[in-house]
Amino acid sequence: MMFSNLMKGNNIVLFGPPGAGKGTQAKKLVDLLHIPHVSTGDMFRCHINNNTDLGKTAKEYSNQGKLVPDEVAIAMVKDRLSQQDVTAGFLLDGFPRSVPQAVGLDTMLSALGSGLDYIINIAVSDAEIRVRLSKRAEIEGRTDDADPKVIQYRIDTYKSQSEPCLTYYRPTNIVRDIDGLGTIDEVFGRIAKIFS
């Protein structure tokens, strides 16, 4: 496969626990920066809806609130980041979600002559996450949000597997911490300041 060089500047990861509002904020940020939104959750849901082999694997895990295996997620993102439309930047939403994924991302970006510019970390308390996820289950009908046990499993998975990514990235000074409490526009205002 041919890889084109990625430019530095707007290679962004939107990070935070499930229910932090990543998807909502991502939509607003891609409009502001004119970069593609690369959501691994959306990509997996698309595969699940189309009943592809990848979708069948993803469904087994996501229905239980578990992460899809790292190698599957990494291969899917590697393929996506090799496409032309991300050369001027991208907003990764939902990836990386484990330290091996963060290492995988660094490896694939440096092979493309690039790297990450920002990790935007949206911080929200556990209690608020629970409220938001059960609301989202009603509104969007997401099966992985409906069961309190699955919600708790996703929070635990975030803490044990995803949150350590922040420790991995902090020494590079690219992490920007954003308070995720407030209205959508308030939170977005805090994010947009990074780019003003």
Give the residue numbers annotated as catalytic, written as ranges: 22, 97, 136, 142, 154
Does residue 97 bind ligand AMP (CB under 6 A)?
Answer: yes
Question: What residue number has its CB nearest to ligand AMP?
Answer: 41
Q: Which two tokens stand for residue 110?
A: 């440096």
Q: What is the C-alpha to C-alpha distance for residues 61 and 72, in angstroms, rounded to an integer?
A: 12
The residue range among 37-45, 111-119, 132-140, 186-194 that interacts with ligand AMP, by the rule CB under 6 A, is 37-45
Least separation, in Å, of the C-beta of 9 and ligand AMP?
23
Q: According to CB under 6 A, which residues from 154 to 173 bind ligand AMP?
A: 154
Does residue 54 bind ligand AMP (CB under 6 A)?
Answer: no
Among 10, 25, 44, 89, binds ligand AMP (CB under 6 A): 44
Q: How far is CA 104 from CA 30, 75, 179, in A?
A: 23, 9, 28
Least separation, in Å, of the C-beta of 196 and ligand AMP?
27
Among 17, 18, 21, 89, binds ligand AMP (CB under 6 A): 18
Q: Is 80 helix (H, G, I), strand (E, B) or coil?
A: helix
Kindly compute the dihedral angle of the four CA atoms of residues 161, 61, 86, 52, in this order, to the nearest 10 degrees: 170
Kindly compute the dihedral angle of the four CA atoms of residues 122, 171, 194, 10, in this order, to the nearest 10 degrees: -100
Burial class of 7 by CB neighbour count within 10 A (0 to 12, 13 to 18, 19+): middle
Q: Taking a C-beta distance cutoff of 8 angstroms, is the pair 105, 24 a contact?
A: no
Q: Taking a C-beta distance cutoff of 8 angstroms, is the pair 32, 192 a contact?
A: yes
Nearer to ligand AMP, 101 or 114 (CB): 101
Least separation, in Å, of the C-beta of 144 and ligand AMP?
6
The residue range among 24-32, 89-97, 120-128, 175-183 that interacts with ligand AMP, by the rule CB under 6 A, is 89-97
Among 144, 151, 169, 187, binds ligand AMP (CB under 6 A): 144
Least separation, in Å, of the C-beta of 4 and ligand AMP?
23
Q: Taking a C-beta distance cutoff of 8 angstroms, is the pair 89, 12 a contact?
A: yes
Q: Which two tokens stand for residue 57?
A: 């694997």
- Enumerate binding residues for ligand AMP (CB under 6 A): 18, 40-41, 44, 61-62, 65-68, 73, 94-95, 97, 101, 144, 154
